[in-house]
Structure 1
Amino acid sequence: MASSCRFKRKDVQSHPVPVHRLGRGTSGLLLCAKTKVAKVRLASYFAEGAINAAKKRDKSEFSEERKISKFYRALVTGILDDDEVVVTQPIGLVHYPGVAEGLYAACSSGKPAMSKVCVLERLAHQNHTLVQVEIHSGRPHQIRIHLAYIGHPLVDDPLYGIGGHPNFVEPESTGTDSSFASDGGYERPLQPVPGDCGYHLHAHWLVLCHPTTNKMVKITAPLPQILQTREERRAAAEQTGG
């Protein structure tokens, strides 16, 4: 028993370690591992999703059982005609003035990426659509790029326009380091809150196979009000007595 306890203490990391990343302007869930074993297994789940995305091109393949599934909420420009769209556009680095490393964008020579976009609500009076996005892979700025690629970029996205390519920004505004590229083309706020960088993208919920118990677990992050459907806002108001 004592040796088992010592082993467990050795395995526990000094602090939880993220096993994926969120864009600096994206709010919501960030999955962290408390042990080395959990870190390795969770990282393998994400890697598995990227490998599978390279093999799949049919939207029916989203229904298969996976060890981790990630779902985001987003507010996009325009009204989507289809209730469901699967995007398989590769993503890679492209040349961009003032950014030596280049920026990630829709790129035929890039790495495979796969996103499933489902319409939740069409806001005709605003010419916006509220969507849920499920991703197989996790390429940098994947959701922003894929939504822009299909002609519906995130509302007020400062960088990605229709087609999934970066809009031109004056070179002096990009700075001299790589933060402009890694942060998706906006100035870092001092005390960021959802929507600070102009767009609204939220890591809403995920389902995963627990790395030690092998049980399926669902984790949810509360939605900002602007990303709630009318029904969700109504239910929230009833709960608070509003």
Structure 2
Amino acid sequence: MLCTTTTTTSPLNSFGSPWPDLNDGLFYSDAVSTTSDSGLTLIHFYSSKYKNSAPLQGWLQRIHNGQITIDGEVVKEPKAILRDGMELVYHRLPWREPDAPYLLQVLYEDNDMIALNKPAGLQVLPGGLFQQRTVLMQLQWRASKGSSSLETQGSHPVPVHRLGRGTSGILLCAKTMVAKTSLAAFFAEGTSLIGDSSNTDMKQSKRRKISKIYRALVNGILKQDKIIIKQPIGTMRYPGVAKGLYVASASGKPALSKVEVLERDSQLNQTLVQVEIESGRPHQIRIHLSFIGHPLLGKP
């Protein structure tokens, strides 16, 4: 159970459009190259190159459904021969994404950035089953409607960092390229300093322009009031996870978390902690707290 510290705001200062029942699907593009693809049949190309997406019969069905175009024309012949320079597009049909909240509270806004109170259950950027039900989509819809706060010409608001789908808290979004570059650099500076062991003391946070502070409910009772965790985080191979699973690993990248106990509940055998992360490794808080024997409550 995890959230960043947030500030309350009036419900009137909120925005968001209800999600459509179905999203728009996805479009995947490929270009036929002379060296490897030219001369192959359409079915051979897809069933061999993307065999993890669907078996042979699955790709045959997609072709017969008219989900694949060549140079903008629907092709339903699986044995169509591909030639160098052809543009292929596969249309993944629309689907209903899992339920997710859509209202976002505005905590702060100016001409360069907007700070949102992201609710738990809402994904920040597209990924997996969530391609439309994201913070990014709500920002884009708001900008396209010409909302007074996003009416600046050329404004393309985007989140500059991520919060996990199950995490609530403050999310900073840039409205200009200059703001995006500056904020991204501020977030990156702490992570870059972690690689220098001389900078992993308590004074480092004074040099940071952005601090990331979370609250988490963990299993068990932490005996120490304050703990500094410097366990590196890396990846390991794991079935069903193409890019690997992020874990505590001696050969991983440096990571630093400062944990402070806020409240202990002996009856429920759980502890409320505040965690300041100096680096921004994937799943850092979950991994670090599990590493010291106190995993997040309710997390697999």
Alpha-carbon displacement from aligned partner over 1:198-236 (angstroms, at most 9, x marks no partner): xxxxxxxxxxxxxxxxxxxxxxxxxxxxxxxxxxxxxxx
Alignment match, 1:21: 162
User: Residues 77 and 152 of structure 1 are in contact (CA less than 8 Å); yes or no, is this contact kept in structure 2?
Assistant: yes
Deviation at 1:112?
1.0
Alignment match, 1:55: 196
SS in 2 for 1:117: strand
What stretches of structure 1 of length at least 5 have no aligned partner?
A: 1-8, 159-242
What stretches of structure 2 of length at least 5 have no aligned partner?
A: 1-151
| 2:179 partner amino acid | A
Deviation at 1:150?
0.8
Alignment match, 2:222: 80
Deviation at 1:133?
0.5
Alignment match, 2:254: 112
**Higher RCO (Cα < 8 Å, 6 or more apart):** 1
Pick aligned residue for 1:93 from 229, 235, 239: 235
Alignment match, 1:147: 289
- The equivalences for 1:1-242 within 5 A come to 12-14=154-156, 16-56=157-197, 58-158=200-300
SS in 1 for 2:175: strand
User: Residues 205 and 211 of structure 2 are in contact (CA less than 8 Å); yes or no, is this contact kept in structure 1?
Assistant: no
User: Residues 70 and 135 of structure 1 are in contact (CA less than 8 Å); yes or no, is this contact kept in structure 2?
Assistant: yes
SS in 1 for 2:298: coil
Tell me the distance in 2 between the aligned counterparts of 1:148 and 1:90. Answer: 13
| 1:147 partner amino acid | L
Tell me the distance in 2 between the aligned counterparts of 1:62 and 1:48. Answer: 11
SS in 2 for 1:30: strand
SS in 2 for 1:37: helix
Tell me the distance in 2 between the aligned counterparts of 1:126 and 1:52. Answer: 38
Deviation at 1:27?
1.3
Deviation at 1:63?
4.6
- Of all paired residues, the percent bearing the same amino acid is 63
SS in 2 for 1:69: coil
| 1:151 partner amino acid | G
Aligned length: 149
Deviation at 1:60?
2.4
With the length of structure 1 as denominator, give the TM-score of the two structures: 0.58
SS in 2 for 1:110: coil
| 1:125 partner amino acid | Q
* Larger helix fraction of residues: 1
SS in 1 for 2:163: coil
The root-mean-square deviation of aligned C-alpha atoms, in Å, is 1.8
User: Residues 59 and 86 of structure 1 are in contact (CA less than 8 Å); yes or no, is this contact kept in structure 2?
Assistant: no
| 1:77 partner amino acid | N
Tell me the distance in 2 between the aligned counterparts of 1:70 and 1:56. Answer: 20
* Structure 1 residue ranges, 4+ long, deviating more than 2 angstroms after superposition: 56-65
Tell me the distance in 1 between the aligned counterparts of 2:207 and 2:201. Answer: 14
